[in-house]
A and B are shown apart, each in its own frame.
Chain A
Amino acid sequence: SQELEQSPQSLIVQEGKNLTINCTSSKTLYGLYWYKQKYGEGLIFLMMLQKGGEEKSHEKITAKLDEKKQQSSLHITASQPSHAGIYLCGADGLAGNEKLTFGTGTRLTIIP
């Protein structure tokens, strides 16, 4: 079973609309990372969250970690074509060690 569940698996959004991607674990998340990946390329680091209730923003992307540190959301405001790609969440410590475990990703498509 997946230790990190991402939802939805894919998302098609009209340009200019807002959207949210979720990342959920049954275990406490000690460090939660969000990455973006263009098809066929490497992962680009977006944000890291460590404290319950923490929220970080970069340009039009906001990531939050809930108080229980078991769920994170990534919210994009007024989406643009440049936001298209695969978004992955990763977390420390889920495997009982310090390795980073990843969700299976959310594929975001922006339509004009």
Chain B
Amino acid sequence: DVKVTQSSRYLVKRTGEKVFLECVQDMDHENMFWYRQDPGLGLRLIYFSYDVKMKEKGDIPEGYSVSREKKERFSLILESASTNQTSMYLCASSRSFGNTIYFGEGSWLTVV
């Protein structure tokens, strides 16, 4: 089975802190994604990566950056957390475009 693991399920951070959300997949997938999910807005794509060190902006990249130094790991970085970044963050991966996207369990981030 495909396993997408997000390192933290629940985080509480202060405004202005730097936040790292880590995601690891064990299926040698080319593509990895970060989404955030908010009530009434559904899932919105923040960034995705189709190869090591490659990244592309999604629909809402502002305030976020990503890092993919190894194929299995995709990190989401909030350089200076703000309260409007309080959300559920979901990592996902797929073998390639057009193939099934598998999701992790999600990380609940609260910024106070």
Which residues of chain A have a CB within 8 Å of any CB of chain B?
30-31, 33, 35, 40-45, 48, 88, 90, 92, 95, 98-100, 102-105
> Which chain B residues (53-112) contact chain A, with CB distance < 8 Å?
58-59, 88, 90, 92, 97-98, 100-106, 108
CA distance A45 to B101 in the complex (A): 8
> Which chain B residues (29-45) contact chain A, with CB distance < 8 Å?
33, 40-43, 45
In the complex, which of the residues B6, B92, B101, B102 has the most CB atoms of chain A within 10 Å of its own CB atom?
Answer: B101
Q: Determine if B106 and A40 form an interchain contact, defined as CB atoms under 8 angstroms apart.
A: yes
On chain A, the residues within 8 Å of B90 by CB distance are 42-43
**A-B interface pairs (CB < 8 A), number:** 48
Which residues of chain B have a CB within 8 Å of any CB of chain A?
4, 6, 33, 40-43, 45, 48, 58-59, 88, 90, 92, 97-98, 100-106, 108
Q: Determine if B58 and A99 form an interchain contact, defined as CB atoms under 8 angstroms apart.
A: yes
In the complex, what's the smallest C-beta–C-beta distance from B94 to chain A, in angstroms?
A: 9
CA distance A33 to B102 in the complex (A): 11
Nearest residue (CB) in B for A105 is B42
CA distance A35 to B94 in the complex (A): 15
CA distance A102 to B101 in the complex (A): 12
Q: Determine if B43 and A88 form an interchain contact, defined as CB atoms under 8 angstroms apart.
A: yes
Of the candidates A41, A42, A98, A103, which one forms a contact with B42 in the assembled complex, judged by CB atoms under 8 Å apart?
A: A103
* Contact sample, A vs B, 22 pairs, CB 8 Å cutoff: A30-B98, A33-B100, A33-B101, A35-B103, A40-B106, A41-B105, A41-B106, A42-B90, A42-B103, A42-B105, A43-B90, A48-B100, A88-B42, A90-B101, A95-B59, A98-B98, A99-B45, A100-B45, A100-B101, A102-B42, A104-B42, A105-B42
On chain B, the residues within 8 Å of A88 by CB distance are 42-43
